[in-house]
Amino acid sequence: MNSLILNAATRILVALMLLFSVFMLLRGHNEPGGGFIGGLVAAIGLTLYAIGHGTREARRALRADPRAIAMVGLALAILAAVLAVIGGDPFFTGQWLFIGGGEGEKGLPISSVLLFDIGVYLVVIGSVLAIVFALEDEV
């Protein structure tokens, strides 16, 4: 499709949606959001780009093969689950690290749960885009 309006709009929309998707991803731990929703939002943004500029351009902008992105995401999610072995905990137990935490200070919490969410985020982006690109290629 070659539409000037769509082309001009996607340039801003894609950036905004990608940013929003990261926001959704990080917000997800305690509030509505998370890796799945964030991944979908990002995938919609990139799909818009593919419709506006063609899949070739979109693949180039993405740099990596979407299926490889999904696989790396899956690997991260599994890594997050396996990290529990360090603490000697059952599989999938969340591991927490409080950066700068001390007496009475909680610090910045970083957890394997977040890593898992990032994994989900990448899996969703990768698999949705793999399907969308394949369908768009045909058209």
Partner 1 sequence: MSWLLVAPIMLPIIVAILVFLVREKGGWGRWLSVVGCVLHLAVSIALLLEVWKQGVIAAQMGGWPAPFGITLVADLFGAVMVLIAAITGLAVAVYALADIDRRRELLGYHALFQCLLTGVCGAFLTGDLFNLYVWFEVMVIASFGLLVLGGDKEQLDGGVKYVTLNLISTVLFLAAIGMLYGVTGTLNMADLHTAVGEVENQGVVVMIAVLFMIAFGIKSAVFPLFFWLPAAYHTPPVAVSAVFAGLLTKVGVYALIRVFTLIFTQDVDYTHGILLAVAAFTMLTGVLGAAAQTEFRKILSFHIISQIGYMVLGLALYTPLALIGAVFYLVHHIIVKANLFLVSGVARRMTGSESLSLSGGLYAASPLLAILFFIPAFSLAGFPPLSGFWAKYLLVKASLDVGHYVIAAVALVTGILTVFSMTKIWAAVFWKPHPETNGSGLVRLPRQEWLSLVLPIGFLAGLTLIIGFFPEPFYVFAERAANQLLDPSAYVAAVTGADS
- Residues at the site binding partner 1, with contacts judged by CB under 8 A: 67-68, 71, 74-75, 78, 81-82, 84-85, 89-94
Nearest to partner 1 of 15, 82 (CB atom): 82
- Using CA atoms, how far residue 66 sits from 91, 92, 125, 132, in Å, is 28, 26, 7, 10
| Other Cβ atoms closer than 10 A to 45 | 21
| C-alpha to C-alpha distance for 13 and 4, rounded to whole angstroms | 14
Compute the least distance from the CB of residue 51 to partner 1, in Å: 25
Compute the least distance from the CB of residue 83 to partner 1, in Å: 12
Nearest to partner 1 of 27, 67 (CB atom): 67
Give the torsion sign (CA, 10, 13, 18, 21): negative
Nearest to partner 1 of 51, 115 (CB atom): 115
